[in-house]
Structure formats: C-alpha cells, structure tokens
Amino acid sequence: MHEFSLCQSVITIVLDKAKSMGYEAQAVRQIELGVGQLAGVDIESMRFWFPVAAKDTPLVQSILNIAIKPAWAHCLTCTHDYQLSRFYDACPKCQSHDKEILTGQDMLVEKIEFVTSE
C-alpha cells in the first residue's frame, strides 16, 4: 500500500496549496499529478487508492489526473542526453551504463484546477 500513502501526501499538498492560494479545499475540481517514469509509482494503483484516501477529506469530489513524465539521463562517458524507461537502460550512443539521472524520479503536483463560482 505504498501508493495509498502517496495519495495521502498528494492530498496534504493539495490542501496546503488550496489554503495558501485562498481557495476552499472543496473547490478543488481537478488535480494534475506528474509522475516520473522512474519514480517507482504504480499509476493504476494510484488511481485506485486516490478516491479511498480522499473519501474523508474535502477532496472527495476531486478528480486526479496522472501524467507520466519521461525520464532523462546524461551519459557520463560520451555526454549524450537520452530518454530512458528503465534504470538500467544503456546510452544509445556508446552503450555505457555510466550515467546521471536528470529527471523522471519524482512525483509532482503540477496543477490544481478550482471550481469558480461566478
């Protein structure tokens, strides 16, 4: 249930942001979550657990949209930057495994959409 606690942290982040932006938490309509390809997060599991985690919070009506973010690495052998889908992917140019992961290991709340009442 690793994803359940991740959903709980997403909810905490969104509630904090809503508050700091001066919105009611109930006004959160959609949450856009970017998940890096190498973040080790099971997207299906996130989708399953989010409503369960949100049930007793003001985000019970909110929709969670998840976007998978590509991962990039920098080759330490030939300095080529390349996209990778697994940690052990080698550099496509020189086949080296010596690399620095640039992006794709994190999870980020990218956007929160609020219902605006006119």
80 binds Zn ion, rule: CB under 5 A:
yes
Looking at 23-31, 57-65, 76-84, 107-115, which segment touches Zn ion (CB under 5 A)? 76-84
Find the angle CA(38)-CA(80)-CA(78) to the nearest 5 degrees. Answer: 120
Tell which positions 9-48 bind Zn ion, by CB under 5 A.
Answer: none
Taking CB under 5 A as the binding criterion, the range among 16-24, 34-42, 49-57, 95-103 that sits at the site for Zn ion is 95-103
Return d(Cα 19, Cα 37) in angstroms, integer: 30
The C-alpha atoms of residue 36 and residue 72 are separated, in whole angstroms, by: 10
93 lies in the site for Zn ion, by CB under 5 A: yes
Name every residue whose Cβ is closer than 8 Å to that of residue 54 and which is 6 or more positions away in sequence: 7, 11, 60, 62
Nearer CB in complex with Zn ion: 30/96: 96
Annotated binding residues for Ni(2+), written as ranges, equal: 2
